[in-house]
Structure formats: structure tokens, C-alpha cells
Amino acid sequence: MIRIKNAEFITSAVKQNQYPESVHPEVAFVGRSNVGKSTIINALTNRRKLAKVSNTPGRTRLVNFFLINGQAMLVDLPGYGYAKISKSDKAAWGKIIEDYIVNSPNLKRFVLLVDSRHKPTQDDIAMMDYLRYYEKDVVVIGTKLDKLKRNDIKKSEKLIRETLQMEKEEPLYLYSSTSKENLQQVIDLVFKDLLPEEA
């Protein structure tokens, strides 16, 4: 079991020369603008306001770095797929994400967040393909589990796996930031081999 004892905001960046100088392994969170990325980061770290939660999707335009237990970096990437932004903004966001993926030597894992209530979107599929292209370790988390009926959970897992063309052994958890269901499993999965386990 991995316990998160402290988490602190380090910096925000849009390009490589603004990234913090660090030797800590990094795990990056990515997903659609309204998937609940900030909410899950706050829940995992048990800090209500660590990542800013906005009622307006698409507000995060920066790469945000958070130091976890003084030993690993959680990196919050800009959300994608928000329809009400211009093409130039979309292109700029894509460049920010790509620059980070290509230029971060400490990047160990990606956490791809999808809405468990719906079939993954074309943007989700494109992001998964993109991460596979760079041969990154990818963990998929389905958010908003509390909004699903119990007998729809297995169907949702099956739909996510099929749509993202995931192998059986590729990790997938459905999670609720409201009920905290599967919270410890998600922490253990996200920070596996990056933070030490406690007996």
C-alpha cells in the first residue's frame, strides 16, 4: 500500500526551460477538459485545493508540477477536446503537451482519464495512440464511477477497453472522487514503483 503523506505545488510551465530542475520520477495526468482531472488529483493527494477545479472546462493551459512525498512529481497536463476554443488554442495546447512528452527525461508513466459513463471519444483514442507511439507506460482511469448503475460497471469497463484497444493485462480502474471508491487501488496503480510501499 502506498500512502501519500504530503503534496506541494512546485511550478507551472508552458515550455521546457520553465520545467523544474528535478531528478524525481514523473507521472503525468492527461484527459478531456471536463473529465475531472483536478478533482481526482485533489482526492489522491487528500488536498482539497491543490489543483484548481474550474466550473468552466478548458481553463488549465499550463503544465503544473506537484511534488508528492518529496519523492515523485505529479504533472497535470492541459485538458484536451473542449469544443469552445479556437483552432489556434487547440494547436497551442497540443504543442505544450507534445513538448512535455518529448522533452521530459524523468517521465515514467501516464494516467489517461476517461469518463466512465460514456464511450471514449475520438480525442481519447487519439491520445491513447499518441502515448503508445512514444512507448509510454499508460494507466487508464475511468472517472465518475458514482454516476454509473452497479450493473453497468462491467459494461463500461468492456466498452473502454474495446474502444481504446486495450489488452487484458493493461490496467484500468473505475473511480469516484465523490465516494472515494477504489481510491487506494488507484493510488497504488498510479505511483507503483515511483513511491515506496508501506507494510
Which CATH number fits the domain that encloses residue 51?
3.40.50.300
Does 104 map to a domain? yes
Question: At CA 53, angle to CA 49 and CA 56, rounded to 5?
Answer: 160
Does 54 map to a domain? yes
pLDDT in tens, 133-158: 888 789 999 999 999 998 999 999 99
Does 21 map to a domain? yes
Compute the chain's Rg from CA coordinates. 16
Does 198 map to a domain? no
pLDDT in tens, 101-140: 888 889 999 999 999 999 999 989 999 998 888 887 899 9
- pLDDT of 72 over the 90 cut: yes
The whole-angstrom separation of Cα 38 and Cα 42 is 6
Domain residues for the domain of 106 are 7-190
Does 81 map to a domain? yes
3-state helix, strand, coil in the chain (%, to 5): 35, 25, 45
Quote the cell numbers at residue 32: 478531456
Quote the cell numbers at residue 38: 483536478
Indicate the pTM of the whole model.
0.89
Length of the chain: 199
- Which residues are within 8 A (CB) of 155 and not within 5 positions of it... i.e. 6 or more apart? none
Does 33 map to a domain? yes
Does 160 map to a domain? yes
For the chain, the domain total comes to 1
